[in-house]
Structure formats: structure tokens, C-alpha cells
Amino acid sequence: MNWYLEVLKKYATFGGRARRTEFWMFVLINFIINAVLNIVQRSTGSTIVLVISVLYSLAVLIPGIAVTVRRLHDTGRSGGWWFIVLIPIVGAIILIVFCAQDGQPGPNQYGPNPKQINAGPEPAWPGAPVA
């Protein structure tokens, strides 16, 4: 749940990088919340729950796009690759594959590796002692 809340704190932050964990936990919790709202709405037939569901979806639209763009940045791709989702079926599959890939090790043009931000100094070469 902390990953989800961190994404919401970065509401419209499109710069930087996002770890796979951050992205997939946000997707998972969104899926669960939408599923629960959908089940409640279908079982009660309540239009209030339907309105809440639509408002929730609209509220997380921008953070969802932002975390996807940051995830693409982590893999070394431009955020413009997000628009590939507009290609029916194939685009969504390609975007999922991109988001599932491991991020680039070390810093890239979009910022430092989010896995190493709190990991301490990097060794000069693999296997070198850290000062």
C-alpha cells in the first residue's frame, strides 16, 4: 500500500524513474479497488457506487499515466512510448512488455537508478571495494 500512496504523492510527476515494484503495486491496488467497486455496484445496482467508481477512475488517471511514463524512463525509453497504448490490443501488450522489463542499471538521461538511490555509493567497477 505504501507504493500506491507514494505514486499518489507524485500525482502529476512525469520526470524521473519508477521501479517495477512501484508501477506494478500501483496497478495491482488500482485493479483491486476497481474490482471491489464494480462488484458492489453490480450487486446493489446503486448509481452512487457507479458515480464513485467513475470519479475514482478519473482521479487516478493522471497518476497512472505519470507512473507509466516514469516506468518507461527507467527502461531508457521516452515517455512518448505511452501513446503506443492507443494501438488496439497490440499497443497494450507492447506497453506491458516494456513495463515488465528491468530498468537500466545506473543513471540514465532521466535520472539515477531508483534501486540505488538509498543503496549507498557505487563501487568504481564490479567487485571493487566501496570506500
Q: Is the pLDDT of residue 130 over 60?
A: no
Q: 108 phi and psi, to 5 degrees?
A: -130, -170
Give the pLDDT confidence of 72-121 residue by residue, as tens digits: 999 999 999 999 999 999 999 999 999 999 999 888 999 998 887 655 45
2 vs 16, residue with greater confidence: 16
Q: What is the mean pLDDT of the chain?
A: 87
Q: Which residues contact 26 (CB under 8 A, 6 or more apart)?
A: 3, 4, 7, 63, 64, 67
pLDDT band at 41 (very low <50, low <70, confident <90, very high): very high
* CB 19, CB 115: distance < 8 Å: yes
* CB 121, CB 130: distance < 8 Å: yes
pLDDT band at 17 (very low <50, low <70, confident <90, very high): very high
CA 79, 24, 26, 1 dihedral sign is negative
